[in-house]
Structure 1
Amino acid sequence: MASKSRRSVPPLIEELRDHPYRFDFYQAVRTTELMRGVGIDPDSDFVPVGEGSDPRREAVHFNADPSLAFPPSSIKSYHPQSLDKPDEMMIRFMGLAGAMGPLPRPLTERLIQRVSKKDLAWRAFLDIFNHRLASLMVRVRKAHRIGLDTRPPHRTLIAKFLRSFIGLGTDGMDERMSVSDRSLLRYAGLLVHRPRTALGLQSMVADYYGLPVKVKQFVGDWVRLEPGQETVIGGRLGGLSGRNNALGTAAFLGSRYWDQQSGLELQIGPLDRETFESFLPGGACHRPLLSMVMFYVSPEYNFSARLIARQDAVPASRLGGDLRLGWTSWLRSTPSEAPDSQVMIKVRGHEALLTV
């Protein structure tokens, strides 16, 4: 297809076939694997180079050039084959025979003579070992170069390590939250850090949504006592006389208490109307936000999300409009002059675990 400069760019596989010397060896192997669907097509009959027991199932087969000349490039030739056969690639930098091979020079010269007379049996025999050596080198390279892996980024070996670091390494933890596991891998450095900080949560949420976010700490709230924690004076309850009635140590007056450090507040915005509504219950961003925050902080903490709406995102109230009481309805006599920050979504940690 012609580009903006009105010059047609040939397909990559044709460029590799016609000009193999222009390609890096590892990138050429990766290109071949992608063309064969290795790592991306579950129905592909081919396996990654160096990871199978049958060379016929690998995407490319390596042949070594036995020449004694100085190699000007890593790849000498590339020949695409039919869809059910591996492509043929002749390499110059590795082989049992040739300038860099361990075979004695007289044997290499004899091999070159036989190849020049179209007798390829000896070279084909050596290529059984040459292919395996080159395949193992590709496999080792992939283990340390994530960019050479043809699998999706979240399915690579490095991704598996990151998932284990952040607590998602087992199959039972796979895709259990409203936010995708792949998205969380980006923040592995923040999730591994202990103790987790408000700045880390702020950075993660702001980066994920691409919005201004601030975290306010030590937001107090009322905490209800469990029935077994309430004070009972006198009477017989379960065979005991009273409960939690030791004055000064275990007695409570009432059924709840104030805890100043029980929660935190996320201030998100200013937001336009569409983004504002997406964070409300039922919106596309609501449950992923709960999942992300609950995964970062302990469920014993409560949190609230204060949604800050821009001036133009605060509509005038009209009967019959698509308004939600307490969420998207305002009673104003004059247009808003500043962003509105009245809407707050409160979430209790243990209750949020049932919805994320």
Structure 2
Amino acid sequence: MDAAARSTSSALDDALFEQGERFAYFQAVRLLRRRARLAGDDPERLRVRPRLALGFPESDIDQIERDLPRRHADIDDDAPEPAPTPRITANFFGLYGVSSPLPSFYTEDLIEEEREGRSGMREFLDILHYTLYPLLFESWVKYRPHVRVVEEGDTAMLERLYAFVGLHERSMRRDDTPGVSDMLRYAGLFSQRPHSALGLKTLLADAFAPADVHIVNCVESWLPIPDDQRLTLGDGRHALGVECYLGQESRDANNHVRIELRGLPLALFEALQPGRREYERLRFFTRYYLTEPFDVTVLLELRAGLAENARTGGMQWNALGRDTWLAPRANAVPRPVSFAI
């Protein structure tokens, strides 16, 4: 695997330095910065300057050099070999060249200077370019969080993104909690108020694809009546249907939600069983999304034709009530498995 990765990286380097004009500017900068990090070098060593010409270009980049040319006087024989400093010659955004905001005679003077074998004026302007082009890249990266977090390692931006889902404190993001690492994907759903059944369905349908997800609201259930609210002689609570009820339980349809995941493939069906990791993810997503302490029941339905006969001593098809059914019919949809979370 390492050899294949090195081969791919080497091929990309060859294309980058030999056919640099085929790359978009920001793509090339990202690749060169990544290349420097992998080599243990400073990604800020990259230099960018504009192309010294007045012809209209066909692409963002004219060429990419592996290392800046050095004068012999700048080389110390006793000093260690310095890290390479790649340089991009760009076709835009410069103080000279076809896109320069300055009058064209500035570029013409630099071209004449180059013909005479000198480059002092150009190198002076390039001191400014070596600052301006990095600022351009920083402004481009600023509104691209995925680049800032994944490639640039911007932990401050990562903290802001986690704040959208209420996990801005590092102590709340335990690595051993299933589902925490997936929360940023659903930041848009968590930031919407109020939370809805449609939002929960959208979240679970993506997290547990290809399950066919249904959210059933207002599921009727029987709840125990607290002792202090039951009918008791002499306490004054005797208006039937108003402040007292017969029996020890009351029917309620405002506190129970059922999550149905149907058409499950075998691997996902097994992974969603209680005690498994996908079950923990399901429980985490559901409890974190719901803003009220609802009772939640999960219903799992295996895809038709996937159920097999019970086997003793095996790793599956032996848990009665979970993946074992009495007298199953061939190609029939197995009876759903239900449990609370």
TM range, smaller chain:
0.7 to 0.9
TM-superposed deviation, 1:301: 0.5
Residue of structure 1 aligned with 2:340, choices 333, 336, 346: 346
Partner secondary structure for residue 270 of structure 1: strand
TM-superposed deviation, 1:330: 2.7
Partner secondary structure for residue 136 of structure 1: helix
% of aligned pairs identical? 25
Partner secondary structure for residue 262 of structure 2: strand
303-312 vs 205-214, which deviates more?
303-312
Structure 1, residues 169-221: CA drift from partner, whole Å, max 9, x if none? Answer: 34343356744344333333332222222222222212221111211111233
TM-superposed deviation, 1:30: 1.7
Q: What is the CA–CA distance in structure 2 between the aligned matches of 1:45 and 1:252, rounded to whole Å?
A: 76
- TM-score when normalising by structure 1: 0.72
Q: What is the CA–CA distance in structure 2 between the aligned matches of 1:254 and 1:191, rounded to whole Å?
A: 40
Partners of 2:217 and 2:257 within 8 A in 1: yes
Q: What is the CA–CA distance in structure 1 between the aligned matches of 2:324 and 2:161, rounded to whole Å?
A: 44
Partner secondary structure for residue 220 of structure 2: strand
Give 1:1-356 correspondences, 5 Å limit.
Answer: 11-37=11-37, 44-47=40-43, 58-81=44-67, 84-103=83-102, 107-145=106-144, 151=150, 162-175=161-174, 178-210=177-209, 211-223=211-223, 247=237, 257-317=250-310, 319-322=312-315, 323-332=318-327, 335=329, 338-347=332-341
- Residue in 1 aligned with 2:72? none
- TM-score when normalising by structure 2: 0.75
122-131 vs 181-190, which deviates more?
181-190
Partner secondary structure for residue 129 of structure 1: helix
Partners of 1:219 and 1:263 within 8 A in 2: yes
Q: What is the CA–CA distance in structure 2 between the aligned matches of 1:319 and 1:95, rounded to whole Å?
A: 75
For 2:295, the aligned partner's letter is: N
Q: CA separation of 1:108/1:339 partners in 2, compared to 1, >3 Å: closer, same or farther?
A: closer
Partner secondary structure for residue 261 of structure 1: coil
Q: What is the CA–CA distance in structure 2 between the aligned matches of 1:270 and 1:233, rounded to whole Å?
A: 50
Q: CA separation of 1:83/1:161 partners in 2, compared to 1, >3 Å: closer, same or farther?
A: farther
Q: What is the CA–CA distance in structure 2 between the aligned matches of 1:197 and 1:174, rounded to whole Å?
A: 24
Partner secondary structure for residue 254 of structure 2: strand
Partner secondary structure for residue 131 of structure 1: helix
Partner secondary structure for residue 138 of structure 2: helix
Partner secondary structure for residue 26 of structure 2: helix
TM-superposed deviation, 1:14: 1.8
Partners of 2:205 and 2:213 within 8 A in 1: yes
- Residue in 1 aligned with 2:73? none
Partner secondary structure for residue 304 of structure 1: strand
- Residue in 1 aligned with 2:76? none
Q: What is the CA–CA distance in structure 1 between the aligned matches of 2:292 and 2:152, rounded to whole Å?
A: 30
TM-superposed deviation, 1:320: 4.6
For 1:302, the aligned partner's letter is: D
Partners of 1:306 and 1:341 within 8 A in 2: no
Q: What is the CA–CA distance in structure 1 between the aligned matches of 2:325 and 2:65, rounded to whole Å?
A: 70
Q: What is the CA–CA distance in structure 1 between the aligned matches of 2:116 and 2:260, rounded to whole Å?
A: 79
TM-superposed deviation, 1:45: 4.2
Structure 1, residues 226-278: CA drift from partner, whole Å, max 9, x if none? Answer: 89x677989xxxxxxx9xx5626887887765432211111212334433222
For 1:341, the aligned partner's letter is: R
| Unaligned 5+ runs, structure 1 | 1-7, 48-57, 235-241, 348-356
Q: CA separation of 1:155/1:283 partners in 2, compared to 1, >3 Å: closer, same or farther?
A: farther
Partners of 2:46 and 2:87 within 8 A in 1: yes
Partner secondary structure for residue 194 of structure 1: coil
Q: What is the CA–CA distance in structure 1 between the aligned matches of 2:110 and 2:98, rounded to whole Å?
A: 13
Q: What is the CA–CA distance in structure 2 between the aligned matches of 1:271 and 1:154, rounded to whole Å?
A: 38
Q: CA separation of 1:226/1:153 partners in 2, compared to 1, >3 Å: closer, same or farther?
A: farther
Q: CA separation of 1:14/1:170 partners in 2, compared to 1, >3 Å: closer, same or farther?
A: same
| Unaligned 5+ runs, structure 2 | 1-7, 68-80
Q: CA separation of 1:95/1:192 partners in 2, compared to 1, >3 Å: closer, same or farther?
A: same
Partners of 1:315 and 1:330 within 8 A in 2: no
For 2:42, the aligned partner's letter is: F
TM-superposed deviation, 1:289: 0.7
- Residue in 1 aligned with 2:77? none
TM-superposed deviation, 1:44: 4.3
Q: What is the CA–CA distance in structure 2 between the aligned matches of 1:320 and 1:174, rounded to whole Å?
A: 39
Q: What is the CA–CA distance in structure 2 between the aligned matches of 1:72 and 1:342, rounded to whole Å?
A: 62
How many residues in Structure 1 have an aligned counterpart in Structure 2?
Answer: 315
For 1:275, the aligned partner's letter is: L
For 2:50, the aligned partner's letter is: A
Aligned-residue RMSD, C-alpha: 3.9
